[in-house]
Structure 1
Amino acid sequence: MARIDVAAYYFPNYHRDARNEAWHGRGWTEWELVKAARPRYEGHRQPIVPAWGCFDESDPQWAAREIDLAADHGVSTFIYDWYWYEDGPYLQDALERGFLRAPNRERMRFALMWANHDWTNIHPASFTNKPETLAPGALSRAAFERMTDHIVATYLSQPNYLTIDGCPYFSIYELGTFIRGMGGVDGAAQAIESFRAKVRAAGFRDLHLNGVVWGVNVLPSESKLPGESRREVIDRLGFASVTTYAWVHHFNPSGSGFPKSSYAAAMEANVAAWSRYRTEFPMPYHPNVSMGWDPSPRTIQSDTYENRGYPFTGILEGNTPAAFRSALEKARDFIGAGPDQHTLVTLNAWNEWTEGSYLLPDNHHGNAYLEAVRATFGDSRARSATSG
């Protein structure tokens, strides 16, 4: 089996951003929610205390520490949750000012997952749970063209951008929202072909287009494709691979008890989904392993915690480092049992602190989750077979 590329999703809301300051006040970052979190039931492990404290991810020196930690423990790629709305980018400085200016950036690759969901006011969400939409996720064709111009010029020109078979990897989170913004499948196909032409003009063979698929909506704004049309649309748009962002897209954490839910049950549901998707789709499915799930820090802590939909959801319990390693081993074995191509696994997540899914060290487990990654996949010093 070819070497497996281990790609962790990176959520970049832990640095100052002009939009956040307009919405939440000067100097605000999502660290405020991490610090404010409290236990919501007996035995609930909150607040989570990051071992490195509340650092500025847009600082190249901090980014360098993250790169060294990730690479030393087998994480070879950061897939950035990347935002672009009708009027331009959001949360870009963790990547552009931090990672890309880090002195050791060559130790890792990076890629983009266009997180094109509505940005809603859930930082934190109230008990009524009717959040205002702050930035709609659907783009016009003109905004899409501006976005892809920026992607090609700013990111694909970087020597450590992730490529698969010579094609830069680009993932779309909400296919339904993208299609709606383009006015339908035909418009979406035309927009993707325009993007491909720009990529080829930049000297690449083509674009490696990845789609995020799921069966359960999590965010209140999420737009997923109906199951009966999903394969047809993915074929029509020329996707090269599909994957998952988080386990809760295939497992309802509030469906079998609230507020506690089972990490083992979520694992079982997702491993079953991997096999279904390998059969459903003609292109490779990259399995995903989630470290955990606890969005309670995104709720107003003085409000009662009831089952009212995201972020008032069930919380996965039993996600010990040993259980996480078991899930990683299942993903490794799933890849090994399939075609020897595009051997990539996605991890949720490097730093989704306020959704309870992170690999960065905390004061309870230290580096134990990263040690599980290294024990399963080895370190990332050898170049992955998936890279171009």
Structure 2
Amino acid sequence: MAQKDIQFLAYYLPQFHPIPENDKWWGKGFTEWANVTKAKPLFKGHYQPILPSELGFYDLRVPEVREQQATLAKEYGVDGFIYYQYWFSSKKMLLQRPSEEMLKSKSPDLPFCFCWANETWKGIWHGLDNPEVLIEQEYEGKEGYTAYFNYLLPFFQDSRYIKVANMPMFHIYRIGDIPDLEVFTNTFNALAKKAGFDGIYFVATVNADHDSILKNDAIYGQVGLDVFLKMRYGNKNQFSKESLLGKVENRIKKAVSTSNKVGVRKKPLLFDYADGVAHLNIKFPNKKYISCVFPNWDNSARSGKKSLIFKNADPKAWQKHLQIAVDELKENPENPKFVVIKSWNEWAEGNHLEPDKKFGRQWLEAVKAVKDKISKP
């Protein structure tokens, strides 16, 4: 992918097809659509359920669906998808079918990369009332990382895979959870070079330790704005109080007390969208920083009264949020020329660009308006 222009990359959830594990945990034929359709308003003026429009309740096993998604993305200025990938160990992987079929069929013709969603699945994060572990994330050292790389290599070698200076881009959701991070990055980089690349372009989200990421020369980018998501998991601060990101984090978390953490909270945690993103539109703290912006967020379909909701989200406010991120990147031309959008299709978290029944294509039209403006003098 050319680096001359700013690229918009959107996270992509492959959950929308049945798998045996979800059948066991939630019932035969379960996908995220089950949560989406049963959502109910929790307070006056609360808009639920949030339902898809023209793409419908799709099944990602259907090639035509993946083609329709890619066509919409290209038409409205989304340059590529970041597929969430659930590699738990060399013996266990989930929800890989859409990306594997995309690789095999060579379609759709849309750039892509992966985000390793390296997180243990617990019931309480997925709508259950208990904190039991559903499936454990494992770290198997050099041998396990080698197995993972070998699985990824055919994707890396695909012409559609997003690369920066001959380095495949690879996002890691919880990079701070990797107990032997240096072993992991060294293994991936060495194997990438052996395969003819110049290494791996690792992108870390900010739910890792900020200082250690900056000091690790192997990490080329750092996605921002994931601070608000950590409020689902507890109140532990991720950054020093004196740091820029620490100040942003503390400002957002003022409303959150110990009694409000997930599993205890009895009512949704509410933020106004425009006010919330105003706090998150920060000046770049370093030359590795990559903005991550979100059009909307309401995970009550999945979490009910324990949810986090950014109310009053609409395409106009979303366009302003995205434009600010682009303007900041223009003022920092040495930073990676990407803006990450969370997300393309996380419907159970009320977090999507795909057309919905209330706004139609307006979320996408906002993206196109900002993208078109980039190319103008």
Whether the aligned pair in 2 keeps the contact of 1:64 and 1:103 (CA below 8 Å) is: no
Q: Give the letter aligned to residue 140 of structure 1.
A: E
CA contact (8 A) 2:344 2:354 kept: yes
- Distance in 2, matches of 1:291 and 1:244, equals 15
User: 2:109 aligned with 1:146, yes or no?
Assistant: no
Is residue 357 of structure 2 the alignment partner of residue 363 of structure 1? Answer: yes
From the superposition, tell whether residues 372 and 101 of structure 1 become closer, same or farther in structure 2 (CA, over 3 Å): farther
Task: Report the residue type matching 2:271 in the other structure.
Answer: S
Are 2:281 and 2:324, in contact at CA under 8 Å, matched by a contact in 1?
Answer: yes
Q: Which residue of 1 aligns with 2:47?
A: 45
Match of 1:25 in 2: 27
- Equivalent residue runs for 1:119-138 within 5 Å: 119-122=121-124, 124-126=126-128, 129-138=129-138
| Residue 213 of structure 1: aligned partner | 206
1:298 aligns with 2:302: yes
Q: Which amino acid aligns with 1:26?
A: K
User: Please, which of 266, 276, 279 is the counterpart of residue 269 of structure 1?
Assistant: 279
The structure-2 alpha-carbon separation of the partners of 1:246 and 1:341, relative to structure 1 and needing over 3 Å to count, comes to closer
Residues paired across the two proteins, number: 340
Partner of 1:93: 97
Q: Assess if the C-alpha contact under 8 Å between 2:225 and 2:280 holds in 1.
A: no
Superimposed CA distance per residue, residues 249-278 of structure 1 (whole angstroms, 9 cap, x where no aligned partner): 454496499543111222122112xx2xx3
- CA 1:15–1:379 in structure 2 vs 1: closer, same or farther (change >3 Å)? farther
Q: Report the Cα offset of residue 358 of structure 1.
A: 0.2
Query: Does structure 1 retain, via aligned residues, the 8 Å contact 2:291–2:325?
Result: yes
Q: What's the counterpart of residue 346 of structure 1? A: 340
The letter for the 2-side match of 1:56 is: D
Q: What amino acid does structure 1 have at the position aligned with 2:184?
A: A
1:247 positional shift: 5.9
Q: Does the aligned pair in 1 maintain the 2:51–2:357 contact within 8 Å?
A: yes
What secondary structure sits across from 1:261 in the alignment?
A: strand
Partner of 2:317: 323
Q: Cα distance 1:102–1:378, how it changes in 2: closer, same or farther (>3 A)?
A: farther
Aligned 8 A contact 1:138 1:178 in 2: no
1:125–1:131 Cα contact (<8 Å) kept: no
Query: Quick one: which amino acid aligns to residue 267 of structure 1?
Result: V
1:60-102 CA distance string (max 9 Å, x none)? 11100000000100001100111101222111112112x3356
Give the structure 1 partner of residue 239 of structure 2. Answer: none
Residue 189 of structure 2 corresponds to which residue in structure 1? 196
Residue of 31, 38, 43 corresponding to 1:36? 38
- 2:100 partner letter: E
TM-score (norm 2): 0.83
Report if the CA contact (8 A) 1:260-1:316 is conserved. Answer: yes
Match in the other structure for 1:236: 216
Letter of the 1:202 partner, please give it: A
Question: Offset of 1:207 from its aligned partner?
Answer: 1.0
Preserved contact between residue 246 and residue 348 of structure 1 (Cα < 8 Å): no
Any unmatched runs of 5+ in structure 2?
230-248, 258-266
Q: Secondary structure at the match of 1:147?
A: helix
Equivalent residues of 2:204, 2:213 under 8 A apart: no
Query: What is the one-letter code of the residue matched to 1:151?
Result: L
Instruction: Report the 3-state secondary structure (helix = DSSP H, G, I; strand = E; otherwise coil) of the residue aligned with 1:39.
Output: coil
Q: Note the C-alpha offset of 1:123.
A: 7.3
CA apart distance, 1:103: 6.4
Give secondary structure in 1 for the equivalent of 2:66: helix
Higher relative contact order at CA 8 Å, sep ≥6: structure 1 or structure 2?
Answer: 1
**Distance (whole Å) between structure 1 residues aligned to residue 31 and residue 346 of structure 2:** 13
SS class of match (2:83): strand
1:4 equivalent in structure 2: 6
1:361–1:367 Cα contact (<8 Å) kept: yes
CA deviation map 1:255-313 (0-9, x unaligned): 499543111222122112xx2xx33x4x42111111111111113x6xxx2xxxxxx13
Root mean square deviation of aligned Cα: 2.5
The 8 Å contact of residues 272 and 310 in structure 2, kept in 1 or not, is answered as yes
Gaps of 5+ in 1: 183-187, 215-223, 306-311, 383-388
Shift of residue 159 of structure 1? 0.9
Output the CA distance in 1 between the equivalents of 2:254 and 2:171: 25
The percent of aligned pairs where both chains have the same amino acid is 27
